[in-house]
Amino acid sequence: MGDDVQPIGEALLTAAADLTGVMSTDDDVVDRTLRTAASAVATVVPGAGHVGAAVTVRGTFAARATGDAVAEELDAVQASGRSGPGPEAAARGTCVEVPDLVADPRWPRLAEAAARHGVTSALSLVLRGHDGVLGVLTLYTPAPLDPDARVLAEALTAQAAVALFGAQRIAGLARAVSSRDVIGQAKGILIQRDGVDDESAFAMLVQASQATNMKLVDVAQWLVSQAKGTATTDAPA
Protein backbone atom coordinates (compact mmCIF):
# COMPACT_ATOMS: atom_id res chain seq x y z
CA MET A 1 0.00 0.00 0.00
CA GLY A 2 3.09 2.22 0.37
CA ASP A 3 2.42 5.96 0.34
CA ASP A 4 -1.33 5.34 0.56
CA VAL A 5 -1.11 4.04 4.15
CA GLN A 6 -1.38 7.42 5.86
CA PRO A 7 -4.31 8.87 3.87
CA ILE A 8 -6.15 5.54 4.04
CA GLY A 9 -5.52 5.40 7.79
CA GLU A 10 -6.98 8.87 8.20
CA ALA A 11 -9.97 7.94 6.06
CA LEU A 12 -10.50 4.79 8.13
CA LEU A 13 -10.54 6.82 11.34
CA THR A 14 -12.97 9.31 9.80
CA ALA A 15 -15.24 6.51 8.62
CA ALA A 16 -15.16 4.88 12.06
CA ALA A 17 -16.09 8.22 13.65
CA ASP A 18 -18.97 8.62 11.20
CA LEU A 19 -20.27 5.16 12.06
CA THR A 20 -20.14 5.93 15.76
CA GLY A 21 -21.80 9.32 15.35
CA VAL A 22 -24.71 8.01 13.31
CA MET A 23 -26.03 6.21 16.40
CA SER A 24 -26.78 9.49 18.12
CA THR A 25 -30.28 9.77 16.59
CA ASP A 26 -33.24 7.42 16.39
CA ASP A 27 -34.45 8.94 13.08
CA ASP A 28 -34.26 6.06 10.60
CA VAL A 29 -31.16 5.01 12.52
CA VAL A 30 -30.76 1.47 11.15
CA ASP A 31 -30.96 2.47 7.49
CA ARG A 32 -28.75 5.50 8.07
CA THR A 33 -26.15 3.33 9.77
CA LEU A 34 -26.12 0.88 6.86
CA ARG A 35 -25.84 3.67 4.31
CA THR A 36 -22.94 5.19 6.24
CA ALA A 37 -21.22 1.81 6.48
CA ALA A 38 -21.57 1.11 2.76
CA SER A 39 -20.33 4.59 1.89
CA ALA A 40 -17.36 4.25 4.24
CA VAL A 41 -16.28 0.95 2.69
CA ALA A 42 -16.70 2.30 -0.85
CA THR A 43 -14.65 5.39 0.03
CA VAL A 44 -11.84 3.84 2.05
CA VAL A 45 -11.26 0.41 0.54
CA PRO A 46 -9.25 0.46 -2.72
CA GLY A 47 -11.15 -1.31 -5.49
CA ALA A 48 -14.31 -1.68 -3.38
CA GLY A 49 -16.51 -0.84 -6.35
CA HIS A 50 -20.22 -0.82 -5.49
CA VAL A 51 -21.18 -1.65 -1.90
CA GLY A 52 -24.58 -3.00 -0.95
CA ALA A 53 -26.07 -3.46 2.51
CA ALA A 54 -28.68 -5.78 3.96
CA VAL A 55 -30.06 -6.74 7.33
CA THR A 56 -31.05 -10.22 8.35
CA VAL A 57 -34.69 -10.65 9.35
CA ARG A 58 -35.18 -14.05 10.98
CA GLY A 59 -32.22 -15.29 8.98
CA THR A 60 -33.50 -13.85 5.69
CA PHE A 61 -31.39 -11.47 3.59
CA ALA A 62 -33.30 -8.15 3.39
CA ALA A 63 -31.70 -5.54 1.13
CA ARG A 64 -31.57 -1.88 2.16
CA ALA A 65 -31.04 1.30 0.15
CA THR A 66 -27.48 2.63 0.10
CA GLY A 67 -27.67 5.33 -2.54
CA ASP A 68 -25.63 3.22 -4.98
CA ALA A 69 -28.01 2.21 -7.76
CA VAL A 70 -25.83 -0.66 -9.00
CA ALA A 71 -25.39 -2.17 -5.55
CA GLU A 72 -29.12 -1.81 -4.85
CA GLU A 73 -29.98 -3.60 -8.10
CA LEU A 74 -27.62 -6.48 -7.42
CA ASP A 75 -28.77 -6.76 -3.80
CA ALA A 76 -32.36 -6.85 -5.06
CA VAL A 77 -31.49 -9.71 -7.43
CA GLN A 78 -30.11 -11.67 -4.49
CA ALA A 79 -33.05 -10.83 -2.23
CA SER A 80 -35.70 -11.71 -4.82
CA GLY A 81 -34.18 -15.13 -5.50
CA ARG A 82 -33.03 -15.61 -1.91
CA SER A 83 -29.73 -16.80 -3.35
CA GLY A 84 -26.27 -15.37 -3.83
CA PRO A 85 -23.20 -14.68 -1.73
CA GLY A 86 -25.15 -12.26 0.50
CA PRO A 87 -27.94 -14.64 1.50
CA GLU A 88 -25.39 -17.44 1.87
CA ALA A 89 -23.22 -15.31 4.14
CA ALA A 90 -26.30 -14.41 6.20
CA ALA A 91 -27.28 -18.07 6.54
CA ARG A 92 -23.78 -19.40 7.24
CA GLY A 93 -22.58 -16.54 9.43
CA THR A 94 -19.28 -16.31 7.56
CA CYS A 95 -17.96 -14.19 4.70
CA VAL A 96 -18.49 -15.50 1.16
CA GLU A 97 -16.13 -14.53 -1.65
CA VAL A 98 -16.79 -15.14 -5.35
CA PRO A 99 -13.66 -14.28 -7.37
CA ASP A 100 -15.39 -14.91 -10.72
CA LEU A 101 -19.17 -14.66 -10.85
CA VAL A 102 -19.39 -15.85 -14.45
CA ALA A 103 -17.33 -18.96 -13.78
CA ASP A 104 -19.37 -19.79 -10.67
CA PRO A 105 -22.47 -21.78 -11.72
CA ARG A 106 -24.46 -21.17 -8.53
CA TRP A 107 -25.93 -17.73 -9.27
CA PRO A 108 -26.39 -17.13 -13.03
CA ARG A 109 -28.97 -14.33 -12.58
CA LEU A 110 -26.62 -12.39 -10.36
CA ALA A 111 -23.69 -12.98 -12.71
CA GLU A 112 -25.70 -11.73 -15.68
CA ALA A 113 -26.90 -8.60 -13.89
CA ALA A 114 -23.41 -7.90 -12.53
CA ALA A 115 -21.78 -8.24 -15.96
CA ARG A 116 -23.96 -5.41 -17.29
CA HIS A 117 -22.20 -3.09 -14.83
CA GLY A 118 -18.67 -4.39 -15.26
CA VAL A 119 -18.79 -6.33 -11.99
CA THR A 120 -17.01 -9.69 -12.06
CA SER A 121 -16.40 -10.42 -8.36
CA ALA A 122 -18.31 -10.22 -5.10
CA LEU A 123 -17.36 -10.33 -1.44
CA SER A 124 -20.08 -10.56 1.22
CA LEU A 125 -18.92 -9.67 4.73
CA VAL A 126 -20.99 -10.46 7.81
CA LEU A 127 -22.06 -7.83 10.33
CA ARG A 128 -22.05 -9.92 13.49
CA GLY A 129 -23.66 -9.02 16.80
CA HIS A 130 -23.95 -10.72 20.18
CA ASP A 131 -27.03 -12.65 19.06
CA GLY A 132 -25.76 -13.70 15.63
CA VAL A 133 -25.70 -12.16 12.17
CA LEU A 134 -27.19 -8.64 12.03
CA GLY A 135 -26.56 -7.89 8.39
CA VAL A 136 -24.30 -8.20 5.37
CA LEU A 137 -22.17 -5.78 3.35
CA THR A 138 -21.49 -6.95 -0.20
CA LEU A 139 -18.70 -5.47 -2.30
CA TYR A 140 -19.35 -5.79 -6.04
CA THR A 141 -15.96 -5.31 -7.65
CA PRO A 142 -14.36 -5.37 -11.14
CA ALA A 143 -11.70 -7.73 -9.77
CA PRO A 144 -11.03 -9.60 -6.51
CA LEU A 145 -9.73 -7.37 -3.71
CA ASP A 146 -6.05 -7.59 -2.90
CA PRO A 147 -5.17 -8.82 0.64
CA ASP A 148 -4.54 -5.33 2.07
CA ALA A 149 -7.83 -4.00 0.74
CA ARG A 150 -9.67 -6.96 2.20
CA VAL A 151 -8.14 -6.30 5.63
CA LEU A 152 -9.45 -2.73 5.44
CA ALA A 153 -12.89 -3.97 4.40
CA GLU A 154 -13.01 -6.42 7.30
CA ALA A 155 -11.88 -3.73 9.77
CA LEU A 156 -14.64 -1.38 8.67
CA THR A 157 -17.18 -4.20 8.71
CA ALA A 158 -16.32 -4.94 12.33
CA GLN A 159 -16.85 -1.26 13.20
CA ALA A 160 -20.08 -1.22 11.21
CA ALA A 161 -21.34 -4.26 13.12
CA VAL A 162 -20.91 -2.41 16.41
CA ALA A 163 -22.73 0.62 15.01
CA LEU A 164 -25.56 -1.52 13.61
CA PHE A 165 -25.98 -3.35 16.91
CA GLY A 166 -26.34 -0.01 18.68
CA ALA A 167 -28.65 1.34 15.99
CA GLN A 168 -31.00 -1.62 16.29
CA ARG A 169 -31.13 -1.17 20.05
CA ILE A 170 -31.91 2.53 19.63
CA ALA A 171 -34.63 1.72 17.10
CA GLY A 172 -36.08 -0.90 19.44
CA LEU A 173 -36.18 1.56 22.33
CA ALA A 174 -37.79 4.19 20.12
CA ARG A 175 -40.49 1.73 19.07
CA ALA A 176 -41.08 0.75 22.69
CA VAL A 177 -41.44 4.38 23.77
CA SER A 178 -43.74 5.11 20.84
CA SER A 179 -45.89 2.05 21.60
CA ARG A 180 -46.15 3.01 25.26
CA ASP A 181 -47.16 6.54 24.31
CA VAL A 182 -49.89 5.50 21.86
CA ILE A 183 -51.30 2.95 24.33
CA GLY A 184 -51.41 5.70 26.95
CA GLN A 185 -53.28 7.97 24.54
CA ALA A 186 -55.77 5.19 23.73
CA LYS A 187 -56.42 4.55 27.40
CA GLY A 188 -57.02 8.25 27.92
CA ILE A 189 -59.59 8.26 25.12
CA LEU A 190 -61.47 5.32 26.64
CA ILE A 191 -61.34 6.83 30.13
CA GLN A 192 -62.85 10.06 28.86
CA ARG A 193 -65.32 8.48 26.45
CA ASP A 194 -66.61 5.58 28.55
CA GLY A 195 -66.00 6.82 32.06
CA VAL A 196 -63.82 3.84 33.03
CA ASP A 197 -60.67 3.77 35.13
CA ASP A 198 -57.13 3.19 33.84
CA GLU A 199 -57.13 -0.55 34.54
CA SER A 200 -60.48 -1.09 32.80
CA ALA A 201 -59.36 0.95 29.80
CA PHE A 202 -56.29 -1.23 29.39
CA ALA A 203 -58.41 -4.38 29.74
CA MET A 204 -60.67 -3.11 26.95
CA LEU A 205 -57.68 -2.66 24.66
CA VAL A 206 -56.41 -6.15 25.49
CA GLN A 207 -59.85 -7.63 24.82
CA ALA A 208 -60.04 -5.88 21.44
CA SER A 209 -56.53 -7.10 20.61
CA GLN A 210 -57.42 -10.70 21.38
CA ALA A 211 -60.78 -10.55 19.58
CA THR A 212 -59.29 -9.14 16.37
CA ASN A 213 -55.91 -10.93 16.48
CA MET A 214 -54.25 -7.54 16.19
CA LYS A 215 -51.29 -6.32 18.19
CA LEU A 216 -52.23 -4.24 21.22
CA VAL A 217 -50.35 -1.23 19.86
CA ASP A 218 -52.16 -1.49 16.50
CA VAL A 219 -55.55 -1.46 18.23
CA ALA A 220 -54.44 1.54 20.29
CA GLN A 221 -53.18 3.33 17.17
CA TRP A 222 -56.49 2.77 15.40
CA LEU A 223 -58.41 4.20 18.35
CA VAL A 224 -56.16 7.27 18.48
CA SER A 225 -56.48 7.75 14.71
CA GLN A 226 -60.25 7.35 14.91
CA ALA A 227 -60.43 9.96 17.64
CA LYS A 228 -58.41 12.35 15.46
CA GLY A 229 -60.58 11.56 12.44
CA THR A 230 -57.69 10.05 10.50
CA ALA A 231 -58.56 6.33 10.69
CA THR A 232 -58.71 4.73 7.24
CA THR A 233 -60.10 1.29 8.20
CA ASP A 234 -63.15 -0.07 9.96
CA ALA A 235 -63.15 -0.49 13.71
CA PRO A 236 -60.94 -3.37 14.90
CA ALA A 237 -63.55 -4.51 17.40
Higher per-residue pLDDT: 226 or 125: 125
Residue 179 banded pLDDT, cuts 50, 70, 90: low
Residues 21 and 40: beta-carbon distance below 8 Å: no
10 or 220, which is more confident: 220
pLDDT of residue 84: 95
Bridge partners (DSSP) of residue 137 are 53, 125
* Average pLDDT value for residue range 67-92: 94
Give yes or no for residue 45 having a pLDDT over 90. Answer: yes
- Reported as a single tens digit per residue, the pLDDT across 86-106 is 999 999 999 999 999 999 999
Residues whose CB falls within 8 Å of the CB of residue 103, separated by 6 or more in sequence, listed in order = none
Please report the pLDDT score of residue 88 as a whole number: 94
Which one is predicted more confidently, 117 or 33?
117
pLDDT of residue 26: 46
Q: Report pLDDT for 9.
A: 46
- Check whether 46 has a pLDDT greater than 60: yes
Check residue 214 and give its pLDDT: 82
Same fold, 2-173 and 174-228: no
pTM: 0.65
Of 46, 9, 15, 34, which is closest to residue 144 (Cα–Cα)? 46
Over the chain, what HEC string results?
CHHHHHHHHHHHHHHHHHHHHHHHCCCCHHHHHHHHHHHHHHHHCCCCCEEEEEEEECCEEEEECCCCHHHHHHHHHHHHHCCCHHHHHHHHCCCEEECCCCCCCCCHHHHHHHHCCCCCEEEEEEEEECCEEEEEEEEEECCCCCHHHHHHHHHHHHHHHHHHHHHHHHHHHHHHHHHHHHHHHHHHHHHHHHCCCHHHHHHHHHHHHHHHCCCHHHHHHHHHHHHHCCCCCCCCC
Which CATH number is 174-228 given? 1.10.10.10
pLDDT confidence tier of residue 23, bands split at 50, 70 and 90: very low
Domain limits, the chain: 2-173, 174-228
Q: How far is CA 57 from the centre of its chain?
A: 9
pLDDT given at position 54:
92
Task: Select the more confidently predicted residue: 3 or 123.
Answer: 123
**Options 3.30.420.10, 3.30.450.40, 3.50.50.60, 3.40.50.300; CATH of 2-173:** 3.30.450.40
Q: Is the pLDDT of residue 65 over 50?
A: yes
* Contact status, residue 208 vs residue 219, Cβ threshold 8 Å: yes
